[in-house]
Amino acid sequence: MVQLASPPSADLRDEILALKKERNAVILAHNYQIGEIQDIADYVGDSLGLSYKARETDAEVIAFCGVHFMAETAKIVNPHKTVVLPDKDAGCSLEESCPPDELAAFLEENAEKNYYVIAYINCSAGVKALSDVICTSGNAVRIVEAAPKDRPILFVPDQNLGQWVANQTGREMDFWRGACYVHVEFTRDSIAKIKAQYPDAAVVAHPECTSAVRLLADEVCSTEKMVHFCRDSEAQNIIVVTESGMLHRLRKEAPGKNLIAGPTDRCACSDCRYMKLNTLEKLYRCLRDLKPEIVLPEDIRQRAEAPILRMLELSR
């Protein structure tokens, strides 16, 4: 058996692959995971792609290398499978910004409005259970366009994604005041400084960025769409404004492009402390021990499943 204290080694990779086979497991990884995890995963993608993969897999165990709400989503649509997350503390500031009891109280206080609640997938099962439909950054425009016209929309929990999708669709909506702590750190000035060094560079940014940053971008999109943008763009230099793990994926998928994260790798791309909690060692351990496991009360799971399935139907 490998020494878990040792740095990632070929042995550790082999042990993970052997355990994966033994457990009949699939390894799903988000685009923000460390390179070693992306390289060993069966599928690497954005929240939308990962939701589809989780729903479609025949594997008995899903080792979800991402953050808690992503693994929880996989469990919601796969109640009979074992879903494990390498580090149980891999949370998300957006999820934290919208506790289910606060949302429930808000909806009760505003019951006369009869809100149609659209929840960004970066939220807990409890919030999903209170929502009409879920969206990701990859399908938010489509989901909002499909919303009933005779009900006001409440968009939770990310006000930045919400404002971006409201601008794209022309739909008015009320916003929960949540934000991603990583994406709101990028500033207009920090991007403008890199732009001054590379005046011909294209800028691609995640919609969780503030509007000041989004306005500087040539393309605002989900992490998976960034792959297509970087491959297809005529620009040779591309400034990538999102979490740093994205660069590993992009450098593999668009090898001819100069992908710029800023002089220190922090101006345009920086680490999500939650995403970076997962390591190869922890992935090995969670496949070996089948924990930390995602477990959900069945009533919440059922109520959270309906809006996820509505999303998956609407974004086919």
Residue ranges binding ligand 13P (CB under 6 A): 31, 46-47, 122, 136-138, 180, 206, 208, 222-223, 243
Cβ distance to ligand SF4 smaller for residue 43 or 198? 43
- Which of the stretches 11-19, 103-111, 160-168, 180-188 binds ligand SF4 when contact is defined by CB under 6 A? 180-188
Question: Per rule CB under 6 A, is residue 47 in the interface with ligand SF4?
Answer: no
67 makes contact with ligand SF4 (CB under 6 A): yes
Q: Is 237 helix (H, G, I), strand (E, B) or coil?
A: strand
Contact flag: residue 181 with ligand SF4 (CB under 6 A): yes
- CB of residue 177 to ligand SF4, shortest distance in Å: 15
For position 122 contacting ligand SF4 by CB under 6 A, the verdict is yes
Q: Which listed option, ligand 13P, ligand SF4, none, makes contact with residue 93 (CB within 5 to 8 Å by class)? A: ligand SF4
Pair 60, 146: CB distance under 8 Å: no
Q: How many helices (H) and strands (E) does the chain have?
A: 15, 13
Per partner kind, with CB cut-offs from 5 to 8 A, the member of ligand 13P, ligand SF4, none near residue 223 is: ligand 13P
DSSP state, residue 293: B
Among residues 117, 154, 182, 240, the one that binds ligand SF4 under rule CB under 6 A: 182
CA distance 253 to 231: 7
- Which are the contacts of 112, defined by CB distance < 8 A and separation ≥ 6? none
When asked if residue 271 is in the footprint of ligand SF4 (CB under 6 A), the reply is no
E-only strand ranges, the chain:
25-30, 43-45, 61-65, 82-84, 116-120, 133-135, 153-156, 173-175, 202-205, 219-220, 237-243, 258-260, 269-270
